Structure 1
Amino acid sequence: MRRTLTDLFSQALERAVTSGDLPRPDRQVHWKVELPRNPDHGDFATNLALVLGAAVRMPPRRVAEILKAHLEDPEGLVASTEVAGPGFLNVRLDPLAWTRVLAEVEREGADYGRSDVGQGRRVQVEFVSANPTGPLHVGHGRGAAVGDVLARLLEFAGFRVEREYYVNDAGNQMRILGRSVWFRCRELAGEAVTLPEDHYRGEYVRDLAREALGVFGSEWKGWSEQEAVERLGRWAGAKILEGIRDDLEAFGVRFDRWFSERSLHEAGAVEKALRLLEERGEAYRADGALWLRTTTHGDEKDRVLVKRDGSLTYFAADIAYHMDKLARGFDRVVDIWGADHHGYVPRMKASLAALGEDPDRLEVLLVQFVNLLRAGKPVGMSTRAGEFVTLREVVDEVGRDAARFLFLTRSCDAPLDFDLEVAKAQTADNPVFYVQYAHARVSSVFREAAKAGFGRPRAAEADLSRLCVEEERELLKLLYLFPEVVEEAALQREPHRLTFYLQDLAARFHGYYNRHRFLVDDPDLARARLCLAAAVQRVIANGLGILGVDAPDSM
């Protein structure tokens, strides 16, 4: 397992900081290694010095010179490094690296791109965590794809990962669910009722009420309103959660743990957290309520933990939940929330600081909204009104592969247009089809090669120096870059980098396929090109595997 260029530059940065040549950055910096737009600028380029300059308050070109001076390459892969433009570091590799990469892909197979950069550190990824008050919609699907693929990336990069779903099965939303089902039960029993505006109105609530009548018979009629709301809420929440589990399984998402909010209350964990905050002087009582001093830890205002009427806020339970997470010994906990929770991040970090924990142990990714389209026209969604398209409906219509891939075709902090017709199209407009077709095309090449008596040549037996046209060199660079992409996507918590990479690799392969023949009359050249095709196929398969998407041999 070779060290990536990301590793080499990260180590150069650490040496520069340790030696005192650079101050330690005052914040985390996000950088990448990529192919330069102009091949004359080298084989690869990194923007590390550019983004680091602001963090250490130094001119980027000076930072680049220092990093270059501290760069060590014991494997001798880097032929030269130069500082360019405002502070880019351009790298040229030894020509042997290009032939080595095909042997490396062949040797490592399904493990190509895997690394130990995580060094076994424990990371918990908590995602989806939708209230069990209705089916999952497409917005939840995007969060599910981001969380699941991030977990897969982290595992591929050497972290120990646990996936968790936080079940919000306590609080007001469960009471509203119970009342919604209760009203529908009464309606089905012939009573004239008017459902309150803030209650759940989807057809699924009527379905639950019909099922409840079969389960409870006429027993529910003897319950008080409070008992009916409590019992029907619990029962309906459990049924909805069962459906959520089934939908996520169909979407290829699994969890190691389903954590119940109710269990926190029953174990007294919330009261314990509040008591600890008061003992530390971080919580105080005013105006009949209990407040947390979040302003002392960077929040814009103090937050209520217990209201005047004695009821707990959701924030109080969330503090207890994150106390529990950190007590389990995770080095990092990554929460994936909807973009509408952006204001919640500083108060959650402030609560950890108030507990004496390092707030940087919590990372939050915000997932922006999905605009669901059909042939370019919006499809309306409103959870409470019941006018929404469920995740299961989307998966059933376009398939799991298309849904997972398309949810990751933009950074999670940017809104996403998801067109159902594009997702079903078997054309280059459909990104997942385009990538899968590249994998299938290689299989067709090898079926023809077998007929011609070639089979699958091994890299050690081929004259790889015959790969000398520009398209071949660009494909080799991309194959070399794959471990960098996986590592950066994991460390920067940006799974969309992998879909970008696969689309680029597929596009370059299709272009190469359309301009050059594999089974040429020159057997040495044919064998070299078949080795290249095999490596492209393996990397596409590995990338799709991390995404949880199939790599078909025919389409």
Structure 2
Amino acid sequence: MFLSAREEVRSELEAALARLEYPDSDLSIERPPDDIDAVFASSVAFRIASEVGSDPAAVAAEIADETEVETCEYIDAVGSHGPYVNFFPSERYFADTVRAAQDGDYGTLEPTGDEVLVEHTSANPTGPIHIGRARNPIIGDAIARVLRYAGNDVERQYYVNDAGRQIAVFTWAYETFDEADLPEPERDSPEYEMVRYYRKGNEFLEEADSEEVEAAEAEIREILQGLDANDDEAYERVSEVVDTVLPGMRRTLERLPAEFDSFVKETRFIRNGATDDVVERLKALDCAVYEDDAWQLDLPDFEKNLVFLRSDGTSLYTTRDLAYHEWKLENFDESVTVVGEDHELQARQLGSALELLGHDTAPLSRVHYSWVNLPEGGMSTREGTGIDLDDLLDEAVEQARAEVEERLADRSRDDDLSESDIDRIAEQVGIGAVRYDIVSQQPTKGITFEWDRALDFEAQSAPYVQYIHARCHGILDEAEGQDIALPGADEFDAGELSTDAERELIRVIAAFPSRIEEAADQLRPHVVATYTQDLAEAFNAFYRECQVLSADDDTRRARLALVEATRITVANALDALGVPAPESM
């Protein structure tokens, strides 16, 4: 209803401006000020007033008087307040919103026909994923979910970096050191077992004498050169290491959950000749130079050159990434890449290189994120001193379980929850809390993860929102237990929902599709997270002020329909963020 009503506003506003002979470019339709009981507002009077030399409030009043809404289904009246033109909802707006939100797919927009690739995480397969990088899979997966809700056909890809120096070091170390040389693995999982070789190799390269290091570096270069030469043996050696580590990393990611439709290896673009083709075309560019024993692009907008080929003929990560992005442009309508802030320069250089190669980079978007830290300090996988994502998730489940058990102990009634129920709730609440706390904040802001904030059942957290879903589910279950039939989409009178709390809750529910649209357009899933807080607050006000099961029959049916509409909306909003919606807490 929200999107349909917005189109009515747009159409009538354009018509009014045409009749007044005012320019209608840059037409703004936005949320009204907090003190205005409308569903839409337009600040177009600001712009017009500056162009015609008039008072914005007078222009807004003139536009409001000229706007005709008699034929609108969802807009009942227009008025002005200061410089704003405000649009007020009809009774049908409220009724159709509650009916629409009975649909389990509520919030899903019409198909766009676009195929969108979301590449995220792509952590080097050298060992366990650590908490500092946890933002990438959480944000990336949420972006993919929001884009799907917005009607796009989305493919989620993990770009496996299996051709760089780190992997060559890892392969050499795995083939060099014995199990007896290594400490016990931190977990019984392949990535934890294998990372010991990687750490041992780096330790050796830092501490061994120069002759030993020189010999090791020669073997590492041999692996890199073999990969670039498309040598089958080198590829098989590296694949043995990478393919052993990846399944363990995938299991960790699935706990979040962060799922992938495909894993695309970097070496794919070496083996199919795409990297060599990119190198030849880069060499032919006017800005290509051979300096300091390497081929480089002297890009005019950057102080630092982009190196794309070493003196020994081996390519670099960015060279292969160029081939990967050309493949993206060829196969998808849009492509989104989620990368850490430390890759920002490289990403901008890559975009410039693609444009020099003749590509339109408009379909390519990047989302940069800052790091996640814990109050204890920084993290580093390479030195083995960091806190792994598995550790954080385990701790989250334990903390959530303790909170759930404490709340159960404080209640006078018996919730009849089994141990398996408590385990399930702890998993949903704990991991949901981690994910929500990270995705609810703007990606570019650094995060220090804190348990008290993430597991706060009272405000600004996943448990606070999840509890709304559980409460709705509880009301509906209680109605069923009392043999009260839940109304169908056409079996209630929305006119019974007339209190301020009911109307405000319906307004918030109606806005859900537009928040999905906004989050998808801006690639900012935290927009949906903020929305869930608004929804939770509106429902809590309704729950405090409006009796449901003890109301008279007509009011009870309408309020049960509103509870079901809330349940579906909060479940889908949480799903768009990748956060579970527990039926009980």
Output the TM-score relative to the length of structure 2.
0.76
Counterpart of 1:197 in structure 2 is none
CA distance in 1, matches of 2:530, 2:347: 28
Give 1:490's aligned residue: 520
Question: Do structure 1's residue 356 and structure 2's residue 361 form an aligned pair?
Answer: no
For residues 495 and 338 of structure 1, the distance between their equivalents in structure 2, rounded to whole angstroms, comes to 17
Give, in angstroms, the shift of residue 76 of structure 1: 3.0
Q: Rate the CA distance shift 1:291–1:227 in 2: closer, same or farther, 3 A.
A: closer
Give the Cα separation in 1 of the matches to 2:263 and 2:85.
45
Equivalent residue, structure 2, for 1:160: 153
Q: Secondary structure at the match of 1:319?
A: helix
- Find the counterpart in structure 2 of residue 275 from structure 1: 280
Match of 2:268 among 263, 272, 275: 263
1:428 corresponds to:
458
Q: For 2:295 and 2:67, how far apart are their aligned partners in 1? A: 53
Aligned to 1:240: 245
Q: Which amino acid aligns with 1:294?
A: L
Cα displacement (A) at 1:423: 3.9
What is aligned with 2:393?
A: 395
1:181–1:233 contact (8 Å) kept in structure 2: no
Residue number among 115, 124, 133 corresponding to 1:140 in the alignment: 133
| 2:89 pairs with 1:97 | no
Check 1:81–1:122 CA distance in 2 against 1; reply closer, same or farther (3 A cut): farther
Task: Return the alpha-carbon distance in structure 2 between the equivalents of residues 362 and 170 of structure 1.
Answer: 23
Aligned partners of 1:36 and 1:43 also within 8 Å: no
With 154-163 and 398-407 compared, the bigger mean Cα shift is at 398-407
Map Cα deviations across residues 390-415 of structure 1 (whole Å, 9 max, x no partner). Answer: 22222233243223222211121222
1:37 aligns with 2:34: yes
Q: Kindly tell me: are residues 13 and 513 of structure 1, through their superposed partners in 2, closer, same or farther at Cα, counting changes over 3 Å?
A: closer
8 Å CA contact 2:340–2:369 kept in 1: the answer is: yes
Which residue is 2:231 aligned to? Answer: none
Structure 2, unaligned stretches of length 5 or more?
184-191, 201-214, 224-233, 397-426
Aligned to 2:424: none
Q: Secondary structure at the match of 1:474?
A: helix
Q: Does 1:172 align with 2:174?
A: no
Aligned partner of 2:518: which letter?
E
Q: Is the 8 A contact 2:436 2:462 kept in 1?
A: yes
1:447 CA displacement: 2.7
Query: Which range is displaced more, 524-533 or 123-132?
Result: 524-533
Distance (Å, rounded) in 1 between the aligned partners of 2:182 and 2:391? 30
How far residue 96 of structure 1 moved from its aligned partner, in angstroms, is 2.1
Cα deviation, residue 128, structure 1: 0.3
Partner of 1:119: 112
Q: How far apart, CA to CA, are the structure 2 residues paired with 1:484 and 1:497? A: 10
* Counterpart position of 2:416: none
Match of residue 519, structure 1, among 535, 549, 566: 549
User: Aligned pair in 2 of structure 1 residues 173, 502: CA closer, same or farther (>3 Å)?
Assistant: same
The CA distance in 2 between the partners of 1:327 and 1:100, in whole Å, is: 42
Q: CA deviation at 1:270?
A: 1.2
Q: Aligned ranges for residues 361-380 of structure 1 at < 5 Å?
A: 361-372=363-374, 377-380=375-378
* Counterpart in the other structure of 1:384: 382
Note closer, same or farther for the CA distance 1:286–1:380 as it changes in structure 2 (3 Å cut). Answer: closer
SS at match of 1:341: helix
The equivalent of 2:476 in structure 1 is 446
Displacement, 1:101? 0.8
CA contact (8 A) 2:492 2:558 kept: yes
- Describe the shift of the 1:450–1:37 C-alpha distance in structure 2 as closer, same or farther (beyond 3 A): same
Letter in 1 for 2:512: F
| Amino acid across the alignment from 2:40 | F
Taking the aligned partners of 1:184 and 1:237, their CA distance within structure 2 comes to: 17
In 2 relative to 1, CA 8–368 (structure 1 residues): closer, same or farther, beyond 3 Å?
farther
Residues matched between the structures, number: 508
Local SS of the residue matching 1:161? strand
Structure 1: any 5+ residue segments left out of the alignment? 26-30, 191-201, 211-223
CA distance in 1, matches of 2:524, 2:299: 29
**Distance in structure 2 (CA, Å) of the matches to 1:127 and 1:7:** 34
- Say which of 75, 79, 98 aligns to 1:78: 75
Moved more, 236-245 or 530-539: 236-245
| 8 Å contact from structure 2 (residues 119, 336) kept in 1 | yes
The 2-side partners of 1:311 and 1:96 are apart by 66
Residue matched to 1:411: 442
Partner in structure 2 of residue 205 of structure 1: 195
- Deviation per CA, 1:511-553: give whole Å up to 9, x if none: 3213332123422222222121111111111112222332222
RMSD (Å), alpha carbons: 3.9
CA distance in 1, matches of 2:349, 2:55: 34
Change (3 A) 1:460 1:160: same
> Aligned with 2:127: secondary structure?
coil
Length-normalised TM-score, structure 1 = 0.80
Q: Secondary structure at the match of 2:134?
A: helix
Candidates 303, 306, 321, aligned match of 1:303: 306
% same residue: 31
Shift of 1:127: 0.4
> Tell me, what secondary structure is at the counterpart of 2:362?
helix
Q: Using the TM superposition, give the Cα deviation of residue 443 of structure 1 relative to its aligned residue in structure 2, in angstroms.
A: 1.8
The separation in 2 between residues aligned to 1:206 and 1:145, in whole angstroms, is 26
- On the 8 A contact 2:296/2:306 being kept in 1, the answer is yes
Q: Which moved more, 1:401-410 or 1:476-485?
A: 401-410
Distance in 1, Cα, partners of 2:518 & 2:195: 44
Which residue of 1 is the match for residue 420 of structure 2?
A: none
**Aligned residue in 2 for 1:532:** 562
* Cα separation, 2, equivalents of 1:535 and 1:371: 37
